[in-house]
Amino acid sequence: MKGVLDLDVEVLIVGGGLSGLCAAWRLKALGIDYRVVEARARVGGRIYSPDYGTDFDLGPSWIWPGQHQVAQLLEELHLEKFDQPVSGTTLYQLQSGQVQPHQGLSPMSGAYRIKRGSSALVNALADALVGDNTIYLEHICTKLSATEHGVKVQISHGESTLEWHAKTVAVAIPPRLAAKLSYFPALPSNLHHALSQLPTWMAAHAKIIALFDNAFWKEQGLSGTAMSQVGPLVEIHDASPSEGGPYALFGFVGYPADARQQIGQAELVKMAKQQLVSIFGPAAKKPIDVIIQDWSVEPFTADQEDLNVAAGHPAYGLSIKTEGEWDSRLHFISTETNRDNGGLIEGAIDRATQFAHNYSNDHKK
């Protein structure tokens, strides 16, 4: 969308990923004026699914029982979920290369996926918003300045620099990237430090998906789940759609970000194809396509500090409130700022919904 040189809006949302789009959708339902600026040429952020007649997740894939926010949103958007395929034997590849059955349940037992991929969620939200001309792609927020009546926002769009004005700004990009924006006056030091210390979920990871004409692993009585001490894929799962093909296996690349960059994506894909054959046999020799997504090289996802994988699931949440001139004018709503489900789809929806409802309640006349 063409940039607008000067714009006044009630709520400006920085970031068109799941939390930003969900917040916009909730605000729209509440009758609140909003705009969304997204740095990429697409919506979705870390939710990204190339379309092959169905969608395959290169970002987050799973939702879980008890995640009530995502369940409610799927119902509101008339989207469906299905069980992650886990029936059949799970395999384990030893360091020697030997492959043997793995005892116990698949680690994804009990998980769900969204029909047509997680992108169905962001696409449904965007479709409900885009007709209002409220989503601006390739618009990069660079500076936020507190004013007497709100926030002046500087935005880069191509060769143009735009200046917009908002009563409130909701920052829905990863906290470490949010910390690198320019703020005038500067954020309180404890808030800036807290943002800088929140690891960006998935930023250090890479995923590879191999597409096939048939789900040959199921014909062999296998679940499609495999663990490996060899690599490059250390954890593999069935990524096939709920019905029909093409069918797919995806894996997490086990090499750290700097090693992946030295090896190169083409070589990683070649190694992954050879590994799939070594685990699943000759039927894996001829994939339709193999896709790699390395989030560590995405400048609108990863910060340099994110390139090392955090041990375990980070302690997420942001309890520090904005104060002084930023009080009530600036909010951080990415999934990492959610305490209970930080980094997850559920966390993004929860923060977005919480922000929209709190804003509406605080500004009722």
For 200-212, how does the pLDDT look when each residue is reduced to its tens digit (9 = 90+)? 999 999 999 999 9
Kindly state whether residues 170 and 281 are assigned to the same domain: no
What confidence category does residue 5 fall into, taking pLDDT thresholds of 50, 70 and 90? low
Q: For position 233, which CATH number holds? A: 3.90.660.10
Does the structure show a pLDDT above 60 at 365?
no
Percentage, residues of the chain above pLDDT 90: 83
Q: Are strands 160-171 and 182-184 parallel, antiparallel or unpaired?
A: unpaired
Residues 182-227: tens digit of each pLDDT: 999 999 999 999 999 999 999 999 999 999 999 999 999 999 999 9
pLDDT (mean) for 169-179: 97
Does residue 302 belong to any structural domain of this protein?
no
Q: For position 20, which CATH number holds? A: 3.50.50.60
Residue, of 249 and 7, whose pLDDT is higher = 249
Q: How far is the CA of 276 from the CAs of 104, 115, 153, 230, in angstroms?
A: 21, 25, 49, 11
Does residue 253 belong to any structural domain of this protein?
yes
* pLDDT at residue 102, as a whole number: 86
pLDDT (mean) for 242-265: 94
Choose the final residue of a domain: 266, 297, 328. 297
* pLDDT at residue 322, as a whole number: 84
Does the structure show a pLDDT above 70 at 286?
yes
Choose the final residue of a domain: 263, 297, 331. 297
Residues 6-55: tens digit of each pLDDT: 678 999 999 999 999 999 999 999 999 999 999 999 999 999 988 776 78
Does the structure show a pLDDT above 60 at 2?
no
Residue 69: give the domain boundaries.
56-116+204-297
Kindly state whether residues 256 and 363 are assigned to the same domain: no
Cα separation, 235 vs 250, whole angstroms: 8
Q: Would you tell me how many other CB atoms lie within 10 Å of the CB of residue 28? A: 17
Residues 305-343: tens digit of each pLDDT: 888 766 678 889 998 888 778 988 999 999 999 999 999
Choose the final residue of a domain: 264, 297, 330. 297
Kindly state whether residues 292 and 241 are assigned to the same domain: yes
Kindly state whether residues 240 and 355 are assigned to the same domain: no
Kindly state whether residues 213 and 356 are assigned to the same domain: no
Kindly state whether residues 130 and 192 are assigned to the same domain: yes
Residue 162: beta bridge partners? 155
Kindly state whether residues 214 and 362 are assigned to the same domain: no
Q: How many domains does the chain have?
A: 2
Does the structure show a pLDDT above 90 at 81?
yes
E strands, the chain, are 6-14, 34-38, 81-83, 89-93, 99-102, 112-114, 135-137, 140-146, 151-157, 160-171, 182-184, 206-212, 222-228, 233-238, 247-253, 289-294, 330-332
Tell me which residue of 273, 223, 183 sits closest to 87, measured CA to CA. Answer: 223
* pLDDT at residue 213, as a whole number: 95
Does residue 303 belong to any structural domain of this protein?
no
Provide the sign of the torsion angle of the four alpha carbons 335, 337, 338, 339, taken in this order: positive
Kindly state whether residues 161 and 216 are assigned to the same domain: no
* pLDDT at residue 324, as a whole number: 78
In angstroms, the first-to-last Cα distance of the chain is 33
Kindly state whether residues 131 and 178 are assigned to the same domain: yes
Does residue 7 belong to any structural domain of this protein?
yes
Does the structure show a pLDDT above 90 at 104?
no
* pLDDT at residue 263, as a whole number: 96
Q: What's the gap between Cα 206 and its chain centre? A: 13
pLDDT (mean) for 56-63: 93
Cα separation, 142 vs 160, whole angstroms: 12
Yes or no: say if 144 and 178 are a contact pair by the CB < 8 Å rule. no
Kindly state whether residues 64 and 187 are assigned to the same domain: no
- Interaxial angle between packed helices 345-362 and 68-76, expressed in degrees from 0 to 180 and rounded to the nearest 10: 80
Kindly state whether residues 278 and 334 are assigned to the same domain: no
Does residue 306 belong to any structural domain of this protein?
no
Q: How far is the CA of 176 from the CAs of 48, 309, 331, in angstroms?
A: 20, 15, 14
Does residue 286 belong to any structural domain of this protein?
yes
Does residue 304 belong to any structural domain of this protein?
no
Does residue 148 belong to any structural domain of this protein?
yes
Kindly state whether residues 138 and 209 are assigned to the same domain: no
Distinct helix (H) and strand (E) counts, the chain: 9, 17
Q: Which residues 6+ apart lie within 8 Å of 2 measured at CB? A: none
What average pLDDT does the chain have?
93
